[in-house]
Amino acid sequence: IKKIGVLTSGGDSPGMNAAIRSVVRTCAYHDIECIGIYRGYQGMIEGDFKEMGPRSVNNIVNKGGTILKSARSKDFMTVEGRKKAHENLVAAGVDALVVIGGDGSFTGAEVFNNEFGYPVMGIPGTIDNDIFGTSHTLGFDTALNTVVDCIDKIRDTASSHNRLFLVEVMGRDAGHIALNAGIGAGAEEILIPEEDLGLDRLLESLRRSKASGKSSSIVVIAEGDKIGKNVFELKDYIEENLPEYDIRVSVLGHMQRGGSPSCFDRVLASRLGVKAVESILEGKSNFMVGILNDKIALTPLEQAIKGHSEIDRELLRVSDIMTI
């Protein structure tokens, strides 16, 4: 292996830049060339490459987003697109690829590896934390801190007006952000796709909360929650059934994907980047580099994609106890 390519793909997440920096500098440390591929797989197809050295990643460890840009490439889903991408990599002398992204990006990497026997290594970068084989994906911790910070602010106005706030958070089909940030921000109820709370139990819980003397409340709702109503319909439904509540909705949206990465995400990104490059140099391929019990661990990409990142049920219990 003489030259490694690195790209970011799918939804960006804080810590991606720190991971790019780590990959580039680990290559330099081992006297290997590194190529940055812009706009994910789309840039691979279009040959949008740039040589990167240790100084091209100065001052990015603290930056959100990704300097390599990101994209969700439709062309890479076609055989012709992947063939073109492979030709470009071969022409540029790139021997292996580090893909920083989520499960869609890993699926692309796996297919690419299967088709061309091309060495690939994945680094999990998504705020959703929905990848099997790692307790944390890059950006998850930062997103949690962002959400908690927002809800703290919402709490100020909620308690001033004795209001109930429904706060919708991201996470796609997973409830990790909602559950963890909900506990951290002291939410009254947390609605996640993995657990069907049911509308009746939600109303019952809000009734109990009022009766227990609470004047304001925060309910955190994962965007993928399957309660059967979106957050605005849910507001109407609660208002109809519990008219004593003055309700507002806040959808936090893409602000959850931005911002300077937390120290945890920066350290994780640095560790994962080192391991990804060194694993390639050891001849490994088709793995994701993750963290389990604070140890860096390799998981076959196939498992990382298909496995289920379980919700921690103990957290549900903790949340219940906290809202007594």
- Which one, of 191, 267, 195, 247, lies nearest residue 223 by Cα? 191
Residue 165 beta carbon to ligand F6P: minimum distance, rounded to whole angstroms: 20
Q: Find all residues with CB under 8 Å of 50, minimum gap 6, and list them.
A: 35, 36, 38, 56
Q: Is 215 annotated as a binding residue?
A: yes
Between the alpha carbon of residue 181 and those of residues 40, 64, 148, 170, 253, the distances in Å are 30, 19, 6, 11, 14
Beta pairing class for 49-52 and 33-37: antiparallel
Distance (Å, rounded) from C-alpha 123 to C-alpha 8? 9
Beta pairing class for 287-292 and 120-124: parallel
User: Does residue 128 have an active-site annotation?
Assistant: yes
Choose, from 48, 95, 128, 152, the residue flagged as catalytic.
Answer: 128
Q: Which is nearer to ligand F6P, 184 or 258 (CB)?
A: 258
Q: Is 127 annotated as a binding residue?
A: yes
Q: Is 128 annotated as a binding residue?
A: yes
Residue 171 beta carbon to ligand F6P: minimum distance, rounded to whole angstroms: 5
Alpha helices in 63-138 (DSSP H): 79-91, 103-116
Q: Which is nearer to ligand F6P, 255 or 318 (CB)?
A: 255
Q: Find all residues with CB under 8 Å of 107, minimum gap 6, and list them.
A: 305
Residue 127 beta carbon to ligand F6P: minimum distance, rounded to whole angstroms: 6
Site for ligand F6P, rule CB under 6 A: 11, 102, 126-128, 170-172, 223, 257
Q: Is 172 annotated as a binding residue?
A: yes
Q: Which is nearer to ligand F6P, 89 or 252 (CB)?
A: 252
Q: Is 77 annotated as a binding residue?
A: no
Binding residues are 11, 21-25, 72-73, 102-105, 126-128, 155, 163, 170-172, 186-188, 214-216, 223, 248, 254-257
Enzyme catalytic residues: 128
Binding residues for ADP are 21-25, 155, 186-188, 214-216
